[in-house]
């Protein structure tokens, strides 16, 4: 598991150090994966936690949502993310239904029976991927290689072998 320090989380989320500390320690909305171990020791965060912090920031800034009311949902969302791979979340969205558990769906399968917020994850994943050793979706090839390319070394002797028909018997 790769963890990044508080300074990098501030850069990736756009939050100030004071607000991040407020959300992760005092109000414990989204706790750090590894809390700060005293003065001069930064807290550490996984990609799942950074993704939840970015979603919380989006809810607060764009929709003016009261975050404390959704602390349980943030914990559940981090659990959902921990059971999926980073790359599997490309093309997915978070569906925020009032009074119901939030869920992850494919971005094109966002039909619901009622009011909800749909938060595509693509922008958030592209923003944090480099910090955790992943390539962005634009940099990735559309398909992974099945086998890694390896060099095949041929010796001098193999260049001088005679060609034989498959049907001929060796003497």
Segment 53-101, tens digit of pLDDT: 999 999 999 999 999 999 999 999 999 999 999 999 999 999 998 888 9
The answer to whether position 77 is within a domain reads yes
Cα separation, 51 vs 57, in Å, equals 10
The total number of structural domains that make up the chain = 1
Domain boundaries, position 98: 4-139
Q: What does each C-alpha distance from 57 to 15, 64, 82, 130 come to in angstroms?
A: 8, 9, 20, 20
Please give the Cα distance from 163 to 49 (Å, whole number). Answer: 62
In a domain, 145, yes or no: no
Q: Could you tell me if residue 120 is inside a domain?
A: yes
Q: 50 lies in a domain?
A: yes
> Is residue 106 in some structural domain?
yes
The pLDDT of residue 40 is: 83
Is 152 among the domain residues? no
Residue 33 resides in a domain: yes
What is the per-residue pLDDT for 39? 84
Are 45 and 32 in contact by the 8 Å Cβ rule? The answer is: yes
pTM value?
0.77
Which stretches in the chain have pLDDT values below 50? none
In a domain, 163, yes or no: no
Residue 163: its pLDDT value, please? 52
- Cα separation, 89 vs 120, whole angstroms: 10
Residue 12's CATH number: 1.10.1660
């Amino acid at each position: 598991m790769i963890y990044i320090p508080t300074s990098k989380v501030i850069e990736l989320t756009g939050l100030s150090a004071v607000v991040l500390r407020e959300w992760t320690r005092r109000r414990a909305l989204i706790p750090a994966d590894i809390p700060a171990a005293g003065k001069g020791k930064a807290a550490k965060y996984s990609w799942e936690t950074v993704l939840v912090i970015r979603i919380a920031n989006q809810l607060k800034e764009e929709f003016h949502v009261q975050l404390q009311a959704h602390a349980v949902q943030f914990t559940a969302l981090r659990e959902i993310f921990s059971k999926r791979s980073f790359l599997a979340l490309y093309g997915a969205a978070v569906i925020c239904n009032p009074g119901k558990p939030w869920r992850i769906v494919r971005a094109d399968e966002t039909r619901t029976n009622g009011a909800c917020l749909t938060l595509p994850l693509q922008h958030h994943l592209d923003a944090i991927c480099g910090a955790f050793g992943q390539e962005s979706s634009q940099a990735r090839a559309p398909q992974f290689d099945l086998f890694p390319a390896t060099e095949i070394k041929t010796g001098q002797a193999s260049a001088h072998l005679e060609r034989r028909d498959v049907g001929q018997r060796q003497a």
